[in-house]
């Protein structure tokens, strides 16, 4: 195994370790993933940085914070503010409706957020 392959394998193991240490667990969008497959997607996924330098990785069409040194924000979904696709807005509206039905948000909050996402 060459030096590059060893570094890649080491990075994959590091991501696997971090995935098991997340204080809030995996994001719901990643539930059901095989951990090795998820780690591979994180290591090999498309990467970019935010204007403030935060590393991001794209997994299944969504951007997530990729800073493994901060377990509190690692894999938090990145919202680019107003750049939602129509399907993303539909997903958010569906989540908002469920939150209202579950009593997690008030009707007033529901109406305000619904206007925002429509």
| 71 contacts 85 by C-beta, under 8 angstroms | no
Tokens of 27: 């994001």
Give the C-alpha separation, 113 to 109, whole Å: 6
Residue spans per domain, the chain: 1-80, 84-118
Q: 10 Å Cβ neighbour count for 64? A: 22
Tokens of 25: 């667990």
Q: What is the pLDDT of residues 20-64, one digit of tens each?
A: 898 888 888 888 899 999 999 999 999 999 888 889 999 999 999
Q: What is the pLDDT of residues 58-115, one digit of tens each?
A: 999 999 999 988 888 899 988 765 455 677 778 888 888 888 898 887 888 888 778 7
Residue 56 has phi, psi (to 5 degrees) of -125, 155
């Amino acid at each position: 195994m060459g030096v590059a392959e060893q570094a890649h394998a080491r990075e994959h193991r590091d991501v696997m370790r971090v995935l098991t240490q997340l204080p809030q667990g995996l994001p719901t969008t990643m539930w059901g993933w095989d951990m090795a497959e998820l780690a591979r997607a994180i290591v090999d996924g498309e990467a970019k940085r935010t204007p403030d330098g935060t590393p991001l990785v794209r997994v299944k069409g969504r951007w997530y914070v990729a800073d493994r040194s901060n377990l509190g924000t690692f894999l938090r979904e990145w919202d680019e503010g107003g750049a939602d696709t129509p399907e993303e807005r539909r997903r958010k509206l569906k989540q908002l409706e469920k939150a209202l039905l579950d009593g997690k948000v008030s009707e007033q909050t529901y109406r305000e957020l619904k206007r925002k996402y429509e």
